[in-house]
Amino acid sequence: MRATLERSNLLKALNHVHRVVERRNTIPILSNVLLRAEDGRLRLKATDLDLEVTETVPAEVRAAGGTTVPAYTLYDIVRKLPDGAEVALDTDAEGRTLTVQSGRSHFSLQILPEADFPDLTAGEFAVRFTLAAAQFRALMERTQFAISTEETRYYLNGIYLHIVASGDDKLLRAVATDGHRLAQAQIAAPAGSEAMPGVIVPRKTVGELQKLLESPDAEVTVEVSDTKIRVTEGDIVLTSKLIDGTFPDYVRVIPRGNDKVLKVDRGAFSEAVDRVSTIASERGRAVKLALGEGRMVLTVNNPDSGSATEELGVDFAAEPIEIGFNSKYLLDIGAQLRSGTAVFKLADPGSPTLIQDDDNPDALYVLMPMRV
């Protein structure tokens, strides 16, 4: 293989694919990135056997071929080269090393055969649809913070993507929950997605999608089977296994009859929670909200460091109520709200609270209270 390409193109592609590679691998080939040069293009591929990312960039190919090299080493080399440089990649005749040359810099890297590199893309995708990259990314961003990190309940370690009916319309909905909080976001179902099975997209895949879907004006093609999802944007292709499990019936935990309505300035509320939680204990992070007509008092008590209170003016006309929440969870939800006003729908101190934007019905959040 002999190919020359611009450092900026190679670095961008390596930045996308190398993150998939686990730094500690017992299987040497999984520490490598696959390079294949042909037809005026260089294709890069990395995988951890559950997730695979491929990107193709323009290159001057003088000899077609392929090989694999340590992903992080190649990334660090290219990252440290000067802007505007050209990078020449050349394998030796014996297939033992790859030479990386740029200006007066010269590196020789150990390689492993292309034939040993695993392929994750085999199989048919029954469902295929296209939507704006910004829409797909927003579904992930507005829900990913609620993904569970508890490995024993593995079916909660991702985002549940599925189609739901709303009257005569279909919606593409994303849901994540860790048992303490739930996040739900939805958009009009793109054409072709109506027959999509409900699938659970793993946490790592969600994180990579958020990083890969950079262009706000781009479109992405999503393909889904019972076991895999493939997302394509331009020259980038991400293929991932899905979590094999059944997502719980989340609809049952979304409160419908909460009649105590609180409206508060989102920014002022988040700032107040952030301030008073400064002295909250790391383990509990509890903040108490005391609600009365037209006012809210936020209180944190920590036996080890003291107490804090702050009062806010709010729109609240129901019976007074005191309720406690995890301050970090409140801040996470506040960061996802889009409008200037946050709406809390409460029932009692022991029941889940519904949180939404004042003017956006396409996302909602459910938060379990804490004892304070």
Burial of 174 (0-12, 13-18, 19+ CB in 10 A): buried
Give the pLDDT confidence score for residue 122 in this predicted structure: 66
Residue 56 main-chain phi, psi, to 5 deg: -120, 135
Strand 341-346 relative to strand 353-357: parallel, antiparallel, unpaired? antiparallel
Tokens coding 195:
């027959």
Tokens coding 22:
């686990």
Averaged pLDDT, 196-221: 93
Give the pLDDT confidence score for residue 277 in this predicted structure: 93
pTM, two decimals, is 0.92
Tell me the C-alpha to C-alpha distance, in Å, between residue 276 and each of 9, 282, 287, 288, 331.
Answer: 47, 13, 8, 10, 12
Averaged pLDDT, 288-306: 93
Give the single-character DSSP code of 245.
S
Answer with the residue of higher pLDDT: 359 or 82.
82
How many CA within 13 A on the CB side of residue 229?
Answer: 24
171-175, 211-215, 270-274: which range is least confident on average? Answer: 211-215
Phi-psi region of 81 (alpha: psi -120 to 50; beta: other; left: phi over 0): beta
Alpha carbon distance 238, 45 (integer Å): 10
Average pLDDT for the chain = 94
Sorting pLDDT into bands at 50, 70 and 90, what band is 23?
Answer: confident
Using an 8 Å Cβ cutoff, are 366 and 252 in contact?
no
Answer with the residue of higher pLDDT: 106 or 285.
106
Averaged pLDDT, 180-198: 95
DSSP 76-105: HHHHHSPTT-EEEEEE-TTSSEEEEEETTE
Angle (nearest 5°) at CA 207 between 204 and 208: 90
Name 191's Cβ contacts closer than 8 Å, sequence gap at least 6: 129, 130
Give the pLDDT confidence score for residue 293 in this predicted structure: 94
Give the pLDDT confidence score for residue 64 in this predicted structure: 95
Alpha carbon distance 99, 67 (integer Å): 12
Sorting pLDDT into bands at 50, 70 and 90, what band is 186?
Answer: very high
Give the single-character DSSP code of 339.
S
